[in-house]
Amino acid sequence: MRHLTAAAIYIAAFLLFAACSPESSSYISQRPVQNETIESPKYDKLPEQTFEWVTLDGGQSQLDFNPQLDILFVTDNSESMKGAQENLFKNMDKFTRSITKNKMIDYHVGVISTWDGSEAYLKANQKYGIGELRYIKDSKGQSYNRRFVIKTDSKDILASTLKIGAVPLAQGGPENEEFFSPLSAAIQKTGRGAANEEFFRENAQLVVIFLTDADDSASGDPKDIVKELIAFKGGRKDKVSIYGVLVNKKDKDDTKDWALRVHPKYHPECFKKEGKKQVQISGCGPFGPERIEAAILEANKYDGTPAEILKKFIVNINSANFGTELGSVGDSISIKTLRKEIFLGNLAPRSVDGKPLIKVSYGKQVINQGKGGWLYNAENNSVVLSGDIDYQYVEGAKFTVQVSPLTY
């Protein structure tokens, strides 16, 4: 028994000593932790994303680029317009700079005069019928057997042709100027053998410019002449523009035609009789070319607010900056003529980062996307080319349009 007790005490002491040692028995066989290398799974390398490109078919010649422009001046040749015609003549280079410098634009320019339905006017004006284009002429007044200016004619011929002269009333000049009636007649006299044959072209941009210090004196809605012009262009509203070189109602009366002045003969509603005198009623007037302005607003109604349209499409005939403003009109006409839309048909382009995959070039010239280049119209599925692209003109060059379609 004594031996068992001693053995127990010995074992207990040994265990206590082992527990107090620096490393217990459970750690004696412990190995250092090794960092294991984890291998990433291996996949086959994906090829870079590629897109199939389809070149647009040039059906219906929509890839051709031969912009045509028909400009028709409707000019007031009454005596009061002599100075205005001289001013136009002096500044014609500023008006035509954008149109003539661009070799792409194939232009026709013609001029017809205002009309007066009175018997006296008809009797005195037998050479040209209503709406008939004047014959072109040079600076010496030599006339040619052609009624409109073309791009191969000199600037001298263009300026001289538009200077049709002013005729005093006593010599058969117009008194009650009409502008819409000769314009209507002009687009009707286009058949074979007619006075205006070959001037108007089916695909050309039609620009009408009224030059006057008066207003249209006929009756009827000014919108009617706009409807007639649009119908003449096959319903293409985008092919019709109307500009004006006009007086403003705020201009001094002595710069306007008599019919726009506050005068008892033309505006008796502005006067009352006091004894033997005609006294002007306060607040009556001033008067401006409201009918022509209405036609301009209607023809260009998608080009901004009424105020913006009148500012953009009208040059004040009495402006101190007449030449500069006339040049701006020429620039505007050029941009509208060079604007082009190419329809993609059923080739709907795919997009990457919100940008359609489309490539556009003219000849060897790459046209960039964005302002001053081309934009994509999703509604029409078309490419719209801005009118202010700086083209590198090449005779016979066409557009090339490539599309990466959603499905092909």
pLDDT of res. 140:
86
pLDDT of residue 31: 59
- Model pLDDT, residue 186: 98
- Spell out the domain ranges in the chain: 67-248+288-338, 341-403
67-248+288-338: in CATH 3.40.50.410: yes
Residue with tokens 């791009």: 151
How do the pLDDT tens digits run along the chain, 408 residues long?
A: 555 455 555 555 554 444 545 544 444 455 565 666 666 566 555 455 566 888 887 665 789 998 999 999 999 999 999 888 888 888 988 998 888 888 889 999 999 999 998 888 888 888 899 999 999 999 888 889 999 999 999 888 988 998 898 888 888 889 899 999 999 999 999 989 999 999 999 999 999 999 999 999 998 899 999 999 999 999 999 999 999 999 999 999 999 999 999 999 999 999 999 988 999 999 999 999 999 999 999 999 999 999 999 999 999 999 999 999 999 999 999 999 999 999 998 888 988 888 899 999 999 999 999 999 999 999 999 999 999 999 988 888 999 999 998 865
Supply the pLDDT for residue 179. Answer: 97
pLDDT at 25: 46
